[in-house]
Amino acid sequence: MTEPHILTIDLGTSGPKAAVVSRTGRIAGSAQARLALRFTDDGGVEQDPEEVWSTCLDSATRALAASGVDAGDVVAVVPSSQYSSIVPVDAGGRPLADMVLWMDGRGAAKKLARLPGGPSRDSPAALLHWVRVHGLAPLGGGMSLTHMRWFRFARPEVYDRTAAFLEPMDYLALRLTGRATANQSTAYMMLLTDNRTLGATDWDEGLLARSHIDRDRLPELVAAGSEVGPLLPDVAEALGLAPSTPVLSGINDTQAGAVAAGAFQGAGAGLAVGTTAVIAAHVARKKTDPRTTLFTVPSPLGDTYLVTAENGVAGVDVDHFLDQLVYPDDALAAGPRPDDAYAALEAAAAAASPGAGRVLFLPWLKGSLAPTVDGKVRGGFLNVGLGTTRQDLTRALFEGIALNARRLKGPVESFSGRDIAAFTFYGGGARSDLWAQVMADVLRVPVRQLDEPSHANSLGAGLFGLVHLGLVDVDDVAGIPRVRGVYEPDPDLEELYGERAEAFAEAFRRTRPLFHRLNRRPGTPPTWRQRLGR
Give the CATH number, domain containing residue 191: 3.30.420.40
Q: 326 and 185, same structural domain?
A: no
Give the largest Cα separation in the chain, rounded. Answer: 70
Provide the pLDDT for residue 520. Answer: 85
Q: 113 and 21, same structural domain?
A: yes
Closest CA to 166 of 151, 157, 154: 151
Provide the pLDDT for residue 411. Answer: 97
Provide the pLDDT for residue 1. Answer: 60
* pTM value surpassing 0.85: yes
Helix, strand, coil share (%) of the chain residues, nearest 5? 40, 20, 40
Q: 213 and 97, same structural domain?
A: yes
Is 454 part of any domain? Answer: no
Q: 22 and 142, same structural domain?
A: yes
Q: 234 and 331, same structural domain?
A: no
Number of domain units in the chain: 2
CA distance 278 to 232: 35
CA distance 485 to 192: 41
H helices present in 266-340, as ranges: 315-320
Is 477 part of any domain? Answer: no
What pLDDT digit, counting tens, does each position of 255-307 carry?
Answer: 999 999 999 888 889 999 998 999 999 999 999 998 999 999 999 998 899 99
Residue 497 CA: distances (Å) to CA of 3, 311, 396, 507: 47, 19, 12, 15
CA distance 18 to 32: 6
Pick the last residue of a domain from 222, 249, 276: 249
Task: Give me the numbers of helices (H) and strands (E) for the chain, helices first please.
Answer: 16, 24
Closest CA to 428 of 335, 345, 325, 336: 345
H helices present in 23-139, as ranges: 49-67, 109-113, 124-133
CA distance 480 to 21: 12
Is 188 part of any domain? Answer: yes
Provide the pLDDT for residue 525. Answer: 63
Residue-wise pLDDT tens for the chain (534 aa)? 689 999 999 999 989 999 999 999 999 999 999 999 999 999 999 999 999 999 999 999 999 999 999 999 999 999 999 999 999 999 999 999 999 999 899 999 999 999 999 999 999 999 999 999 999 999 889 999 999 999 999 999 999 999 999 999 999 999 999 999 999 999 999 999 999 999 999 999 999 999 999 999 999 999 999 999 999 999 999 999 999 999 999 999 999 999 999 998 888 899 999 989 999 999 999 999 989 999 999 999 988 999 989 999 999 999 999 999 999 999 988 889 998 999 999 999 999 999 999 999 999 999 999 999 998 999 999 999 999 999 999 999 999 999 999 999 999 999 999 999 999 999 999 999 999 999 999 999 999 999 999 999 999 999 999 999 999 999 999 899 999 999 999 999 999 999 999 999 999 999 999 999 999 877 666 655 555 444
Pick the last residue of a domain from 249, 275, 302: 249
Does a cis peptide bond (omega within 30 degrees of 0) precede residue 336? no
Q: 241 and 109, same structural domain?
A: yes
Range of the domain at 512: 315-404+493-531
Report the sign of the C-alpha dihedral through residues 199, 204, 208, 213, in that order: positive
Is 346 part of any domain? Answer: yes
Helix crossing, 494-519 with 390-416: angle to 10°?
Answer: 90
Provide the pLDDT for residue 521. Answer: 78
Q: CB atoms < 10 A from the CB of 40, how many? A: 12
Is 414 part of any domain? Answer: no
Q: 367 and 231, same structural domain?
A: no
Q: The sheet that has 99-100: what strands, in order across it?
A: 38-39, 45-47, 99-100
By DSSP bridging, strand 380-382 and strand 423-426 are unpaired
The phi, psi pair for 368, rounded to 5°, reads -100, 150
Q: 390 and 506, same structural domain?
A: yes
Q: 334 and 185, same structural domain?
A: no
Is 85 part of any domain? Answer: yes
What pLDDT digit, counting tens, does each position of 107-122 carry?
Answer: 999 999 999 999 999 9
Pick the last residue of a domain from 231, 249, 267: 249
CA distance 66 to 145: 39
Is 255 part of any domain? Answer: no
Is 456 part of any domain? Answer: no
Q: 231 and 149, same structural domain?
A: yes
Q: 236 and 109, same structural domain?
A: yes
Q: 239 and 106, same structural domain?
A: yes
CA distance 60 to 32: 8
